[in-house]
Structure 1
Amino acid sequence: MTKKAVLINDLSGLGKCSLTAAIPVLSVMGIQACPMPTAVLTSQTGFKSFYCNDCTDKLDYYTSEWKKLGFQPDGIYTGFLSSEKQVDKILDFINSFETENTLVLVDPVMGDGGRTYSLFTDALACKMKKLVTVADVITPNLTECCILCDVDYCEFIKNADKPDFMDKIAELGKNLLNRYGVKIVIITGIEHKDIDGTMYVQNLIASKDEVFSVSCKKIGGRYSGTGDLFASVMFSGLLRGDTLRDTVSLAVKFIETSLRDTVALGIDRNEGIEFEKHLKILL
C-alpha cells in the first residue's frame, strides 16, 4: 500500500516552493501527499507584492477531522510556519498522530543568507526550537543552523575561506544532534570555496553513526524553493527505505540538474527552479 505523508507548509500561487514543490516530488517518489496548508498566498513572499491568507484558525480542523477518520500517516513534514501560535498547533498535531513508526522531518524555515525572513520573531525562534525536539530529521540551512545553535552567523561566516570551515559546521551538526535529540541533521546550501577558488555548495549530514558531506559546483544564485525540493527528496527517500547516503546524493543530483536548466533559461530567482522535466531522476 502507498505510504501517506502529511505536508504542513504554505501554498503559493506563483513561485515554485513549499507545497507546489513538495507535492510532485512526493508523488513521483511513490508517496501520497496529504497537504495541510499553513497559509495560502497569491505569490511566494519574495515577490514585490503578494496577498497572504493565514490558515492558523483552520489547522485544528485537520487534527479533529482526520482523527475521526482514523487516519494514520506514515510521515509528517513541516515547513514554513508563520507564527508561534502555528507551531503550538503543529506540536499538538504531531502529538496526536505520531507513532514509533512515523517519520517526522522538520525544515525549520526562519531565514537564509544570514538574514531572517520578514515574519521571523524571537518568539517564533523559541517555538521552532521546541518543534525541532520532536523531529527525527531536520534540514536547516546554515543561517537556521546558527539560530538553533545560538551562534552569531556573521561571526561564524568569517571563517568561510579557512580550510577547517566544514569541520566547524560538522561541530554545529553534532551540537544539534545532542542538543535536540534528533536522529539526522542535514545542513543545506553551505557555500564553500575550494583551494583553487572554485565555489561549491555543500550539504553536511550528521547522524549518531557518521558525519559526511555531499557537494556540487555552485550554479547561479539563490533560487526560491530549492530548500523545499531538497527536503522533500530527503523525506521521501527515507520514507521509502532508501539509505541516507543514497538519498542525499539523489537530492543533490536532482537540484544540480534542475539548476543548470534554470540558469540557462535565465529564470528569475523568485519563480523557482526548472525541476519538472527532471522528476524522472527521482523514480
Structure 2
Amino acid sequence: MDKKILLINDMPGYGKVALPAMVPILTHMKYEVFSLPTALVSNTLDYGKFAILETTDYMKQAIGVWQQLGFSFSAIVTGFIFSRAQADVVAALCKEQKQHGVQVFMDPIMGDEGRLYNGVGEETITYLRDLAGLADYIMPNYTEAAFLAGMPCRHDSISEDEARQLMDALRQVCPKSILITSVHTAGSYAVLGYDHSRNTYFQLPYTHIPVRFPGTGDIFSAILAGQVLQGHDLEAAAFSAMQSVGSLITANQDTTNVIPGIPVEQCLNLVQEISNI
C-alpha cells in the first residue's frame, strides 16, 4: 500500500486526541501519514484550562513549500479548524488536491452533548458548513450534525422520521457521503449513514458504553478513512470503526483518569483485529 494520507488537525502537548490519536492508527494500517497541525494545544480541552497557539501562518508557508516540492496525497482528513481564515486555507488546499483525485474526509469538530466545546464560537458553525460542501465524507456526531443542518439539537431520543430529516438536511450541506456517529433513536444508539456512491441509507446500532474518552471521534475518523481507502464500502468501514472504538473503550473503561484519552499505542492490536475485514 502506497497511499499517503494528510491529517489536518490540532496537536495537543498532553493527551491522546487529534493527531496523537490518529497517526498511530493509520500508520498501523500501513499508510504513509503526514500532518498539518492547525493549532498547538497545551492539553485536552476537557481539563477546562488550556493554552492554544493557532498555526494559520505556518500552514500557509508549509503548503507553499509542499507545492514547490511537488508533494501529493491520496486523501486529506480534516479535524479541528481554528478560524475562518484557517478554514479558507484548508478549503483552498482541498479544492486544489481534489483536481488530482484526492478524497476529502471531514470531521466537523465543534461540540457534543448539545453544546459547543470550550473555546469554540458560534461562527465556527458557518465556516465548517462551508467546508463540508467540499468533502467527500463528513463524520459529525449528533450535536455537530444538528448544528450543520440548522436543526434543533434534542437532548432525548429522536424518531426514525426525525433522523431521516436530519440526514436529508445534511445532504444539502454535503452533497456526497455522510455519517452521524452517535444518534439516540427510539430506544437504541446508532451510527447513521448515507453512501452517495450507492445512493443508500443505513443504520448501525451499537451498545452505549457510559464512559466518555476524549478523542474517540478522531479514532473513528482515522479508522473509517483507512477502511474506505482500502476499498471497503462506507457501511462496512463504519461498522469496522464503530466496533474498533467500542473495543478500545471497553478495554480502557476502568482507568481512573479518562481525560487524557485512550492510550492508542498500547491498544493497536484491537484495531488490527477489527480492521482486517
Q: Which amino acid aligns with 2:255?
A: G
Whole-angstrom CA distance in 1 between matches of 2:14 and 2:256: 13
Query: Are 1:144 and 2:159 an aligned pair?
Result: no
- Which residue of the partner structure matches residue 201 of structure 1? 189
SS in 1 for 2:45: coil
Q: Structure 1 unaligned segments of length 5 or more: list them.
A: 195-199
Query: Are 1:13 and 2:13 an aligned pair?
Result: yes
Q: Structure 2 unaligned segments of length 5 or more: list them.
A: none
Whole-angstrom CA distance in 2 between matches of 1:84 and 1:43: 23
SS in 2 for 1:245: helix
Contact 2:113–2:155 (Cα < 8 Å) also in 1: no
Contact 1:204–1:213 (Cα < 8 Å) also in 2: yes
Whole-angstrom CA distance in 1 between matches of 2:100 and 2:161: 33
Matches within 5 A, 1:1-283: 1-99=1-99, 101-153=101-153, 156-158=154-156, 160=157, 165-177=159-171, 179-192=172-185, 194=187, 200-208=188-196, 209-263=199-253, 265-275=254-264, 276-277=266-267, 278-281=270-273, 282-283=275-276
Instruction: Give 4+ residue runs of structure 1 displaced > 6 Å after superposition.
Output: none
Question: Could you list the per-position Cα deviations for residues 160-180 of structure 1 after superposition, in whole angstroms to 9, with x for gaps in the alignment?
Answer: 1x6xx2331122112212x12
Whole-angstrom CA distance in 1 between matches of 2:134 and 2:122: 20
Whole-angstrom CA distance in 2 between matches of 1:166 and 1:83: 34
**CA drift at 1:274:** 4.8
Whole-angstrom CA distance in 2 between matches of 1:222 and 1:15: 14
**CA drift at 1:97:** 2.2
Contact 2:48–2:118 (Cα < 8 Å) also in 1: no
Q: Which amino acid aligns with 1:139?
A: M
SS in 2 for 1:127: helix
Whole-angstrom CA distance in 1 between matches of 2:233 and 2:256: 33
Question: Could you list the per-position Cα deviations for residues 197-219 of structure 1 after superposition, in whole angstroms to 9, with x for gaps in the alignment?
Answer: xxx43110113421111122111
TM-score (norm 1): 0.89
**CA drift at 1:183:** 1.5
**CA drift at 1:98:** 2.2
Alpha carbon RMSD of aligned pairs, Å?
Answer: 1.8
SS in 1 for 2:86: helix
SS in 1 for 2:82: coil
- Which residue of the partner structure matches residue 197 of structure 1? none
Contact 1:258–1:274 (Cα < 8 Å) also in 2: no
SS in 1 for 2:193: strand
Whole-angstrom CA distance in 2 between matches of 1:50 and 1:124: 19
Q: Which amino acid aligns with 2:162?
A: K
Contact 2:178–2:195 (Cα < 8 Å) also in 1: yes
Whole-angstrom CA distance in 1 between matches of 2:41 and 2:34: 19
Question: Could you list the per-position Cα deviations for residues 226-273 of structure 1 after superposition, in whole angstroms to 9, with x for gaps in the alignment?
Answer: 11111111111111211222211111111111111121x234331213
**CA drift at 1:157:** 3.7
SS in 2 for 1:218: coil
Q: Which amino acid aligns with 1:148?
A: L
SS in 2 for 1:180: coil
Whole-angstrom CA distance in 1 between matches of 2:67 and 2:132: 23
